[in-house]
Structure 1
């Protein structure tokens, strides 16, 4: 009689050995979306470069995510399942019993391992055979039990279509139609080309790439934030300059397509739209306005090839209520920003949006005439004022909310608010 080894996905009536060997927890990169392939159905199909294959996922109303995908990273092709939720508390590397019941009659049991993917904690089952995936796709509902906890039923509508699209994606990866190397380069494009050693680059925009002369695709990367729960995001125009469309990565780590609705190169603002709603969004600060010396917080996605892909926090002060050259549409902030911060929200200590990160000055020399009299300017960063951003939204008839500043919160609480309504933006710059 066959025995199910770890990790497995077994049918109760006829045990199916799927993979031998001890259970082990893979890293987050094994479960995240690196590039969306299809988002036209209930399931979002994406490429995963770590597994050298594709996966599909659906997020349910209770915030549970169900994910199934292929794995070609270790020779023989297999599949995997992952069930997760932001409120679950499963520990990475621990073994958990998993029971799934399809349509109230076909029951599968398996041994999974705890995993953590960004804010999601759950259980993954590796080494799954194609027969188990077919059984999954053939059901109308799935009743999920992990350990002693019965999570109830989940609708599997549209799974057949999702599986067909995932197989189409897998085939495209295998035959080279989808280049994994090209996708990887998206994460190396935050800053664009660096200045030469003997050059300075004043007012460098922290995000947005520049066209290069080689034949490789050029990608631009920055930050955006949601302004309402209809899926509208605000960012800088230079972040999506030269791009036909874009992708955004919301909190949770999944890339999804975004439409560039409007651009204002003069004001350096752009409006994006995703197909799905986003419950968390930034609220603009009303009266009283932000003051000189007030504390501000910046959350964004700078230098994701080197820093965290889950976002970074910076704090500082309002250093001036005008930008470079007394530009009244901007303000100067002391919060450090890097390439990739462009388009991110600047918020006060109550979590209200007071600006949009737009530019930084790299270290530069200011000469007063005497070659020995040189002043070095550092950490000079600018943000578009919230009023200018609101005018841009009004012009394009996009609703937003304005609220007076609330009670000041601790910085970690402010960061949590900003993180939930922020997103990374990636787009390919067309020649």
Structure 2
């Protein structure tokens, strides 16, 4: 059982200095000022009142689920509204229980009332909590031992990914002028720097413990640490970089690690997998495994150094291995299309348009820097995804930049 401590509703607390209608203090958080598009049945938009992005989906019983980010406080919120919930009182605190196949969550929600709209909202949440709810696949909302909603949450994981892209676009827009159409971001990606620290992914490429990653993961780092799952992190030394091809190789203290075979003949349409450490503050610290396909043999502008893939990646995946069903590495995760930038132009959010550097480019880089890669052969028969993930965990590492 997982129990969430009573939620601090600081963003919705009523101030004694507030002079307008009391119900208006909470409701603006659920307004959509700009719609960015739809993903798997969820509407993605921006709310100026909260300074962040939100996602909403309405079900047959007229219940709308809202989840979003508070850009100013780096927090999240979760809300449910339904015009049939006539008995809900504005600003009253309600104790709700949420049941999923993964566990049981309990917390405080604040009542909303605005015209015909009635609802419940909890703010000040950790982003990881909202991600857990979204990944649950289905949820029952219980109040005073009575079920008030049963929702499938279909597509909510995709919605979370779109919200993260949306929020990142807002941060970028504040930091720089609008980007040109079709800009890619090197954030398939390393995580944004916080307190001077960012992170990405890498993988072993030699028996001597060399690790391959992206140049943008380690660029500007005073110190680089590499951590293998289940072991303490070790300080790494930068051996060589290739800025043009966005590659870097590190020397570590890991002796005789497991090293994957490199495949030089990826095929469009084949299944490929990514293993890495995306969004370490939100997602599992042990690593994440995602599944997709090679969708094109070239990147943006027919860049033949790259593969286009549908395998989902997030900030922190950069530098990680792209693996085929035989357990061999076919590429190095490098970037993703800036979905929000494209959405501004086309009014639609592109889904899972990501890119990896081909293993041939990586091998040439390693050879030119005297890194001896094993001549190991890939499996003769296809492996099931669980076996690929199990192997990938053994040779993939978390790279931290300070």
Q: Cα RMSD (Å) of the superposition?
A: 2.6
Unaligned residue ranges in structure 1 (runs of 5+): 1-189
CA distance in 1, matches of 2:284, 2:343: 37
In the aligned structure 2, how far is the partner of 1:246 from the partner of 1:273? 10
State the shift of 1:244 in Å: 2.8
2:384 paired residue number: 410
Alpha-carbon distance in structure 2 between the residues aligned to 1:241 and 1:198:
19
- Which position in structure 2 is the counterpart of 1:261? 239
8 Å contact from structure 2 (residues 169, 341) kept in 1: no
2-structure distance, mates of 1:198, 1:217 = 18
- Does residue 225 (structure 1) correspond to residue 207 (structure 2)? The answer is no
Q: Secondary structure at the match of 2:327?
A: coil
Q: Residues 376 and 367 (structure 1 numbering): CA distance in 2 closer, same or farther, change over 3 Å?
A: closer
Cα distance in 2 for partners of 1:198, 1:296 equals 30
Cα distance per residue 1:36-72 (max 9 Å; x no partner): xxxxxxxxxxxxxxxxxxxxxxxxxxxxxxxxxxxxx
Which residue does 1:328 correspond to in 2? 304
TM-score where L is the length of structure 2: 0.53
How far the C-alpha of 1:401 sits from its partner, in A, is 2.7
Query: Could you tell me how far apart the structure 2 residues matched to 1:250 and 1:198 are?
Result: 31
Deviations 1:128-161 (A, max 9, x none): xxxxxxxxxxxxxxxxxxxxxxxxxxxxxxxxxx
Q: After superposition, what is the alpha-carbon deviation per residue over 1:371-398, rounded to whole angstroms, capped at 9, x for unaligned?
A: 8x64432211000000000000011010
Residue 308 (structure 1) aligned with residue 284 (structure 2): yes
Of the three residues 315, 321, 340, the one matched with 1:345 is 321
The 1:365/1:196 distance shift into structure 2, 3 A limit, reads closer
Q: Aligned in 2, Cα 1:367/1:228: closer, same or farther, shift over 3 Å?
A: closer
Partner of 2:365: 392
TM-score calculated relative to the size of structure 1: 0.50
Task: Report deviation, 1:247.
Answer: 0.3
Number of aligned positions between the proteins: 229
Matches of 1:271 and 1:398, distance apart in 2: 9
Change beyond 3 A, Cα 1:194–1:252: same
Distance 1:301 1:338 in 2: 9
1:193-212 equivalent positions in 2, closer than 5 A: 194-196=168-170, 199=173, 202-204=183-185, 205-208=187-190
**Alpha-carbon spacing, 1:225–1:367, altered in 2? closer, same or farther (3 Å):** closer
| Counterpart-to-counterpart distance in 1, 2:356 and 2:171 | 27
Aligned position for 2:396: 422
- What is the distance in 1 between the residues matched to 2:230 and 2:366? 26
Deviations along 1:341-387, one digit per CA (max 9) or x if unpaired, are 0000001001101000000123235489xx8x644322110000000
Residue of structure 2 equivalent to 1:380? 353
Residue 275 (structure 2) aligns with: 299
User: Deviations 1:258-291 (Å, cap 9, x if unpaired)?
Assistant: 11111111110000111231431121015xx121
Query: Contact 2:206/2:373 (CA < 8 Å) preserved in 1?
Result: yes
Partner of 1:52: none
Deviation (angstroms), 1:245: 2.9
Question: Does residue 280 in structure 1 map to residue 261 in structure 2?
Answer: no
User: Structure 1 residue 315: deviation in Å?
Assistant: 0.5
**Secondary structure of the residue that 2:391 maps to in structure 1?**
helix
Q: For 1:162-201, list aligned pairs within 5 A.
A: 194-196=168-170, 199=173
Larger Rg: 1
Distance 1:313 1:404, change over 3 A: closer
Q: Is residue 253–residue 310 contact of structure 1 (8 Å, CA) maintained in 2? A: no
Gapped runs of 5+ residues in structure 2? Answer: 1-163
